[in-house]
Chain A
Amino acid sequence: MQNEIIIAGFGGQGVLFAGQLLAYAAMDEGKEVTWIPSYGPEMRGGTANCTVVIADEEIGSPLVRNPKAVLVMNLPSLDKYEPLVKEGGVLVLNSSMVPRGVARKDITVVLVPANEIAEELGDRRMANMVMLGGLLAHLEVLPVKAIEKALKDHLPARHQKLLPANIEAIQRGSKF
């Protein structure tokens, strides 16, 4: 069993961290996992993405053309990844950031107003956690509890005070 997840958006939206959190949770659950960022001469506001592969056996390629799931945080990422999601896969869309709908009918589309929810909870920067919640509710890859535990275990000490709000963000997202 293998799941591939691409998380894509603007630099600064927490795209890479959301992927790392998935990877930590997968590792702690005893799974094989790879996390690979798009890296390049990029800056805040440019596009960023990462690919996370979670599997039960030794992982071959850390990159895939057709991922099982995509978390889309902005319009350029929707344009790029909508055609690539595997048939029957999941596309989680940050509807606060993307002014258009999704045309594909052969995938599960999850619309999450992630920025609004994150702002309600006190900080727009938690939109990535809301989106992760949305993914976990529709892709059987890891239990929400595993992500919450990973957040607890791997959030730097200086950010631990933000833990309850982040966990709430994941839970709010998982209701979509």
Chain B
Amino acid sequence: MAKELLKGNVAIAEAAIRAGLQAYFGYPITPQTELLEWMSARMPELGRAFVQAESELGAINMVYGAACTGARVMTSSSSPGVSLMMEGISYIAGTELPAVIVDVMRGGPGLGNIAPAQADYNQIVHGGGHGDYNLLVLAPSSVQEAVDLTVLAFDLAEKYRTIVVVLLDGSLGQMMEPAELPPMKPLKTAYPEWAARGEPGDSRRVLSSIYLDPPAEEVANVRILNRWKEVEANEVRYKEYMLEDAKIAVVGFGTSGRVALSAARAARAEGIPVGLLRPVTLNPFPNKQIERLAETVDSILVVEMNAGQMLEDVLRDVKGRVPVEFFARVGGIVPLPDEILNEIRRMASQPLSTTGHPRDRWLKRMPQIMA
């Protein structure tokens, strides 16, 4: 199919539809609203379910109910709206149901603003709802990747009976890029044996997250964890740029990853051997790749649009073997390539320390960065 110029939010919506989405439930919130708006026109036109719920709580619980039928279902929102969904997310995880959630992050905490941010990394990657569960998290950095990962999200959700979150920031939701959409997939006609379909003659199927008997809950927890171990073994995704001979490695995801690519290219043009590792799955995280980097490069720069949330995961993998530095803009500001280039230059020209915390060093530089 030919490339079209598509806005991130619209591209994700249409990709989900073409992946066989049967029901969408949501509530408008900037910078994600175009996604819901596209669904509101397209889903009824195709005879599929679209409901604008009364709130995000309504939307996620509609997703919960619809997911019990084994249908392909999704919702989308932005940071404060996703916070409201956390209870439902935990219930869906506890009931072991496939569902897709798109989170177009904005500046926070609280009501914050509507500008791009990545400050919900911990909430999505390391939990947010209660209980022992993992969300499979995909982080696109371009409109094409957003399309491809949205399609993948539905397959992974069903394969592992898990929630898959497509996690991006407001700038990717709002920007337009050429992208190729997949062909329209026919809607599914076969359903898994656990799905409550209400077919006459079927045995009774109870889907619930309640295990009042603790040993039964323990069995469920272990089953969920074993399934997650399969995800960890099979689904780590990442992209590498110019790392073959790199002495400095930049690690960044989503938009900060692609901004870092511009900085890395500019640094290469100045003769600094720098490369980029861009995690595509944030959970499972590319731990092995980071560990390998710690053996091959002299130093690592983590770039994020939050105050160092993924940084902690990188530090855990690096284990102090090489110096790690950190750069971020927070509160809804997208870093510019020249800011990251300055950090790379600084790392290439100065002795670096492995003592102390990179976040503390960054925080000390922040008054100059913000000026």
Interface of A is mostly: loop
- A27, B3: Cβ atoms closer than 8 Å: yes
Please, which residues of chain A bring their CB within 8 A of the CB of B174?
36-37, 39
- B259, A61: Cβ atoms closer than 8 Å: yes
- A63, B336: Cβ atoms closer than 8 Å: yes
**Contact string against B for A residues 23-35, beta-carbon threshold 8 Å, 1 for contact and 0 otherwise:** 1100100001111
Size category of the binding interface on chain B: 20 to 34
Contact of A63 (CB < 8 Å), options: B5, B30, B31, B334: B334
Which residues, 34 to 60 on A, are CB-close (under 8 Å) to B? 34-37, 39-41, 58-60
Stretch at the interface among B41-49, B75-83, B131-139, B260-268: B260-268
Please, which residues of chain B bring their CB within 8 A of the CB of A60?
258-265, 337
- B178, A65: Cβ atoms closer than 8 Å: no
Given A36-B175, A63-B259, A41 contacting B336 (CB threshold 8 A): no
Please, which residues of chain B bring their CB within 8 A of the CB of A37?
174-175
Given A33-B177, A40-B115, A62 contacting B171 (CB threshold 8 A): yes
Q: Is B114 an interface residue (CB 8 A)?
A: yes
- A23, B5: Cβ atoms closer than 8 Å: yes
Cα distance A24–B3 in the bound complex, in angstroms = 10
Q: Is A94 an interface residue (CB 8 A)?
A: no
Q: How far is the CB of A112 from chain B (nearest CB, A)?
A: 26
Which residues, 225 to 280 on B, are CB-close (under 8 Å) to A? 258-265
Q: How far is the CB of A52 from chain B (nearest CB, A)?
A: 9
Q: Is A64 an interface residue (CB 8 A)?
A: yes
Cα distance A68–B339 in the bound complex, in angstroms = 18
Cα distance A36–B264 in the bound complex, in angstroms = 21
Q: Is A166 an interface residue (CB 8 A)?
A: no
Among A27, A41, A64, A65, which residue has the most Cβ atoms of chain B within 10 A?
A27
Q: Is A95 an interface residue (CB 8 A)?
A: no
**Chain B positions near chain A (C-beta within 8 angstroms):** 3, 5, 30-31, 114-115, 170-171, 174-178, 258-265, 334, 336-338
Q: Please provide the 5 A-B residue pairs with the shortest distance between their CB atoms, ordered closest to farther.
A: A60-B262, A60-B261, A61-B262, A36-B175, A61-B259
Given contacts A27-B178, A36-B171, A62-B175, 8 further A-B contacts (CB under 8 A): A36-B174, A39-B30, A39-B31, A39-B114, A59-B177, A60-B262, A61-B262, A61-B336
